[in-house]
Amino acid sequence: MKVLVIGSGGREHVLAWKLSKSRNVDKVFCAPGNGGISRVAKCVNIKANNIKALVDFATRNKIGLTVVGPEDPLTKGIVNEFQKKRMKIFGPDQKAAQLEGSKVFTKEFMKKYHIPTAAFKVFSTSAEAIGFCKSVEFPVVIKADGLAAGKGVILARNFEQAVASIEDIMNKKIFGDAGNKIVIESFLKGAEISVMAFTDGKTILPLLSSQDHKQAYDGDRGPNTGGMGAYCPTSIMNNALYDQVMEYIIRPTITGLQQEGITYKGILYAGLMITETGPKVLEYNCRFGDPETQVVLPLLKTDLLELMLAVVNQKLAGIQKLNWSDESAACVVMASKGYPSKYRTGLKISGLQNVNSNALQVFHAGTEQKGNQYVTSGGRVLGVVGIDKTLQQALNKAYQGVNKIKFEGAMFRRDIGSKALKPKTSVR
């Protein structure tokens, strides 16, 4: 079977790499791909949001399955367009993708179906939002309603920061139309984890839990980014917590969508805060997390293509469980100096040839290949992933790999995984 992966980041590199290992995959294409992806897939010069061109390419090349990586084409209805042509595509349709595409829709959905989340209010003008902030307890979390490449969530520790954030989002439009409405919600305390699950709208198969590191700098300081590293599995996810997450969050989400007339098929990602009173939803994503995918999929032993086809064909019930490696995986993201703000591109990368092995993988997020030379082309450049028996050993391998790779101004967090709790029995 021919497979098309849509996207150009580290997540898409992992998807292409993992799918290329399937015994039933003859060839993998990636649109548009990046320098590193070209090692495992044929890159096609079509942007991820050029839906018509992607449909045409898949039709001409008799693609058996298309896999959507990023959120933007999902919210723009790429799945609907492929389905009109009776072509198989992995991902939720446009209505289901509202879970990620609109914070307002999502918060109101959770309120309606009693899914635990932070208390919130929605605002369509900056004046109303600022007025509300005069009477709240800080800190609060301010979220742009629409998509903002993982950067539309701001923690305001006091009134002055709240006003500045509201004006940036709603008046200065730093996230464009995504800031036409905002959500202001209570700040939740606890440990943050990510739980992803395959679902065909009926059956649910959860993946191992992981933990992302959003802030740019050590100690969870600095602005939010798309993610600076992750590890899997988390020791936080014990059997009791797993039961809570499934009973109060994942299953009610799928059931609630059914009641809304929405059949959700694809990956459901729940960003959770594990509070003193139980797990609460911070956000949903309608696709694989990035960089969580870089640490979860390398541990998956079940054939990824078979899983995706089972989801698309609504036959997930035929797969009894997922098989996992007993190892741990840790990802350290190497980013360009200045990320997530302004940064340079076109910088030469050296040392990549010294790090790839079965237990040490480098997934390209923002690279371009010029002849035999890789150069930087994005804010997040590489995800260096170590795999070993324990988290500490996996982290050691990842950082050993990072230390062998060089490009001017390379920045990375040195504390990935440092907040991991003492080992507990992990659900697999």
pLDDT for 79-114, tens place per residue?
999 999 999 999 999 999 999 999 999 999 999 999
User: Is 258 within the bounds of a domain?
Assistant: yes
Going by pLDDT thresholds of 50, 70 and 90, the confidence category of residue 427 is very low
Q: 326, 342, 375: which is the final residue of a domain?
A: 326
Stretch 211-219: mean pLDDT: 95
Q: Select from 160, 186, 212 the last residue of a domain.
A: 186
Domain match, 294 and 351 both: no
How large is the average pLDDT for residues 409-414? 97
User: Is the same domain home to 205 and 320?
Assistant: yes
pLDDT category, 357, cuts 50, 70, 90?
Answer: confident
Q: What is the DSSP letter of 406?
A: B
Residue 144, C-beta contacts closer than 8 angstroms, at least 6 positions apart: 103, 152, 153, 169, 175, 178, 179, 182
pLDDT band at 355 (very low <50, low <70, confident <90, very high): confident
Residues 79, 330: Cα–Cα separation, whole Å: 32
Same domain, 278 and 258: yes
Q: Is residue 101 part of a domain?
A: no
Domain limit, last residue, from 326, 361, 382: 326
Q: What is the mean pLDDT of the chain?
A: 95
CA distances from 371 to 348, 368, 374 (A): 12, 10, 8
Residues forming a β-bridge with 154: 142
State the pLDDT at residue 426.
Answer: 37
15 phi/psi in degrees, rounded to 5: -60, -45
For Cα atoms 19, 20, 24, give the angle at the middle one, nearest 5 degrees.
Answer: 80
Q: What is the pLDDT of residue 148?
A: 84
101-157 pLDDT, tens digit each: 999 999 999 999 999 999 999 999 999 999 999 999 999 999 999 988 777 889 999
Range of the domain at 16: 2-91
Nearest C-alpha neighbor of 349 from the set 318, 322, 326, 381: 381
Number of independent structural domains in the chain? 4
pLDDT at 428 over 70: no
Q: Grade residue 379 by pLDDT with cuts at 50, 70 and 90.
A: very high
